[in-house]
Amino acid sequence: MERSLYEPNLGYYERTPKNIGRTGDFYTSVSVGPLFGDLVAFHIGPYLERLGSSDSVRIVEIGAHEGRLASDILHALDRYSGSSTLDFRYLIIEPSKTRRAWQALTLQPFQGRVEWQESLPDSLHGVILSNELLDAFPVERWRWSAAQRRWIQLGVDWDGTSFHWANLQTQAPAHWDLPDSLTQILPDGFVREDNPTARRWWNQAAQSLKAGLLLTCDYGSTPDALLDPYRPQGSLRGYRRHQHVESLLETPGDIDLTANVDFSSLRLVGEHAGLNTVFNDFQRNFLMTIFAQTVNKSDLFGPWTAARTKAFQTLTHPQHLGHAFRTLIQERRI
């Protein structure tokens, strides 16, 4: 999955910045327009002010793709009264030279205010954010064997002509043990995913954050949904031209691959690292909370035009992006 998405010159996210949006393969909240960035900026602005003027204050984005969310946030912070005087830098964590070039082109108006690194710094004050990042982290795929009463990890093999799923001998996590009442009815071949890479990354981000917020919006699951009867083949799926792709292994590098994020496990990782959970719910409720704040401070946020209202409906309606995405925000207080 990692190579299919990120292999230099060949991976899905390495070949073109135009695979997101109406003419691409899938939508994100940023595809709807600048409103998502406006709302996020309105939410994080007070936290930046609280941290005060310091060379160490950063907005750190991971998974910036071509830099549209960064541009929307920076434009919004400049519009809000007083925000243009905030002493902070926008840091993008980007190991790919290709995507760095896309981002630099998008962010030309903010030259000198944006910087890049390949990995997270060890210590920072500010806001670490990502949008639809963790769902594209490589997952482990596990299939239930009713005959053996155990989970079998699936790998990918090559037979000379095509890729296919292959059984591995990995031991399943101990906490996956199921009660007998469930193992007796769990269908043979039922699939679930695990994403230790996402948990390791969240722990690293939490450890590096010395004061401020850790925020992500993404496709999400709770622990109950990890054994979702409506997803007997798991949540790992592919997209091409806004349609589901049945065969995930047929054309690696040509389709988007995504899997639901286990937000409950991320929450526990962050709390174990000393963060306080501020929000863990549907993206709809997160944006509705910010909306209420903008109404009381319309002089800062600006008017709710017809275009903004239409975009807000797309971002929050349950049949659009409102329930497909969840938001997790954790804080390390000053």
In this predicted structure, what is the pLDDT of residue 83? 46
pLDDT interval class at 14 (50, 70, 90) = very high
What is the average pLDDT score of the chain?
90
For residue 241, count other CB atoms closer than 10 A to its CB: 11
Q: Which residues, 6 or more positions from 176, have their beta carbon under 8 angstroms from its beta carbon?
A: 151
Nearest to 198 by CA among 126, 119, 100, 267: 267
Average the pLDDT over 276-281 and give the result. Answer: 96
pLDDT in tens, 177-220: 888 888 889 999 999 999 999 999 999 999 999 999 999 999 88
In this predicted structure, what is the pLDDT of residue 267? 96
- pLDDT of 118 strictly over 90: yes
Nearest to 262 by CA among 235, 232, 289, 285: 235
In this predicted structure, what is the pLDDT of residue 110? 94
Nearest to 262 by CA among 204, 218, 209, 206: 218
Q: Is 186 exposed, middle or buried (0-12, 13-18, 19+ CB in 10 A)?
A: middle
Contact present, 269 and 214 (Cβ < 8 Å): no
CA distance 329 to 246: 33
pLDDT interval class at 19 (50, 70, 90) = confident
CATH 3.40.50.12710 domain range(s) in the chain: 2-137+195-230+258-332
Average the pLDDT over 27-35 and give the result. Answer: 89
In CATH, which of 3.40.50.12710, 3.40.50.12780, 3.90.1150.10, 3.40.50.2300 is domain 2-137+195-230+258-332?
3.40.50.12710
